[in-house]
Amino acid sequence: MLTRILKTDKHNPSRRVLEEAASVLKSGGLVAFPTETVYGLGADAFNEEAVLKIFKAKKRPPDNPVIVHISNVDMLKEVSTSVPKRVERLIEDLWPGPLTIVVPRSQKVPAVVSAGLETVAVRMPAHNVALGLIKHFGSPIAAPSANLSGRPSPTNARDVYEDLNGVIDMIIDAGETFIGVESTVIHVTESKSVILRPGPIPIETLRKYLSDIEVHPSILTGNFQGTPASPGMKYRHYAPKAEMVVVEGVYDRVSEKIVETALEYLKSGLKVGCIVSEETARKLPSSVMIEVLAPRNRLDLVAKRLFSALRNMDRRNPDIIIAEGFPEEGIGMAIQNRLRKAAGYRILKA
């Protein structure tokens, strides 16, 4: 299959591009498009066959459900049977935005979208290309991140192309995404509210709306007991080819430990890669392959560059990767979750 690439402006997408992409979706095809978080791989959410193509193209396990993207609140009512009263203000304040809400699924949404679950995950993206595409299409779009299953999510069109060229119909290239890590996923019922995946909307913000909100216990430890609340939790994700370890603790110790560990590996003849802050990068010897994230205190920039740093490091083929851990505040919880997953929960305490 020939994958067409259409370029457009991220703030003012061209009507022609949106129309062409919408017509691909109407005929049951797959279109990768940018959202504020990462690129998504879209299909008509109400077309079972089209959604099955997403799983095939990504080699995604069939038991991992996808997110339905909407452009107005009426669409939420179309895809769900009931929305808990206590998420109304959250939706009003935070949508469009990087927050996905799991709600009871309506019969209109084919079971494959939710991998057979009775619920469906829904979000309204804050990106003019994504919103414009949903509006032109006129109906909800099912879209997981546009990467091959297990790889870091794509934050630009080149990363989508690298993973999916030849197996999808179209990529809308509107440059880099704004945030860089995927949306926060929450499940809210009348009696309980849980973060299933930490993301750009941090727990500190969610607490103002849902005083009882908890982080699902498996998120930072990677331990699952029984059936995971969100199937995505149990999969190894973002995993580079080389073994990876995350160094965590108080910063001074962390940077020391990274330098010390890198030197040890170098001595034993390994090609060492480090994914680190600007501060730590300055302390490392030049024989180490380095992917610089951002200054330590700019967690927003660390999030934005994290996935491309993982992909770049992979292209450079190190034998071992040492990554710097970051504080778990704000978007830091999402950064830590992705780093730990990438490392298969190999953590070095400094």
SS3 per-residue string spanning 197-223: ECCCCCHHHHCCCCCCCEECCHHHHCC
Nearer CB in complex with ligand TXA: 64/261: 64
Nearer CB in complex with ligand TXA: 107/268: 107
Nearer CB in complex with ligand TXA: 171/288: 171
d(CA 226, CA 156) in angstroms, rounded, equals 36
In the list ligand TXA, Mg ion, none, the entry touching 193 (Cβ below 5 to 8 angstroms by class) is none
- Burial of residue 34 (CB within 10 Å: 0-12, 13-18, 19+) is buried
Token code pair at residue 328: 């778990």
d(CA 109, CA 64) in angstroms, rounded, equals 15
Query: Residue 196 in contact with residue 230, Cβ under 8 Å?
Result: yes
Give me the residues paired with residue 32 across strands: 41, 171
- Strand 243-248 relative to strand 347-349: parallel, antiparallel, unpaired? parallel
Residues in the chain: 350
User: Which stretch, 88-96, 139-147, 157-165, 341-349, contacts ligand TXA (CB under 6 A)?
Assistant: 139-147
Binding flags for ligand TXA, 17-56, as an x/- string (CB under 6 A): ------------------x-xx-x----------------
Q: Looking at 52, 73, 111, 117, which residue binds ligand TXA (CB under 6 A)? A: 117
Alpha carbon of 307 to those of 169, 263, 282: distances in Å?
Answer: 24, 25, 21
Q: Closest separation between CB of residue 324 and Mg ion, Å?
A: 23
Using Cβ positions, the residue closest to ligand TXA within the complex turns out to be: 232
- DSSP characters over 123-144: E----HHHHHHHHHHTS-EE--
User: CA-based diameter of the chain, in Å?
Assistant: 61
Chain-centroid distance, C-alpha 63:
18
Tell me: does residue 154 bind ligand TXA (CB under 6 A).
Answer: no
Nearer CB in complex with ligand TXA: 216/296: 216
Tell me: does residue 337 bind ligand TXA (CB under 6 A).
Answer: no
Alpha carbon of 92 to those of 39, 77, 95, 209: distances in Å?
Answer: 24, 14, 6, 11
Q: Closest separation between CB of residue 113 and ligand TXA, Å?
A: 8
CA dihedral 76, 82, 83, 85 (to 10 degrees): 140
* H or E element that contains 158: helix 157-164
Query: Residue 95 in contact with residue 124, Cβ under 8 Å?
Result: yes
Tell me: does residue 145 bind Mg ion (CB under 5 A).
Answer: yes
Tell me: does residue 177 bind Mg ion (CB under 5 A).
Answer: no
Q: Closest separation between CB of residue 20 and ligand TXA, Å?
A: 20
Tell me: does residue 96 bind ligand TXA (CB under 6 A).
Answer: no
Binding flags for Mg ion, 99-138, as an x/- string (CB under 5 A): ----------------------------------------
For residues 219-278, which are near ligand TXA according to CB under 6 A? 230-232
Q: Looking at 31, 45, 51, 67, which residue binds ligand TXA (CB under 6 A)? A: 67
Tell me: does residue 65 bind ligand TXA (CB under 6 A).
Answer: yes
Number of residues in contact with ligand TXA under rule CB under 6 A: 28
Tell me: does residue 119 bind ligand TXA (CB under 6 A).
Answer: yes
User: Which stretch, 4-12, 21-29, 125-133, 144-152, contacts Mg ion (CB under 5 A)?
Assistant: 144-152
Name the residues that contact Mg ion, by CB under 5 A.
Answer: 145
Name the residues that contact ligand TXA, by CB under 6 A.
Answer: 35, 37-38, 40, 64-67, 98, 100, 102, 114, 117, 119-121, 125, 143-145, 182-183, 185, 196-197, 230-232
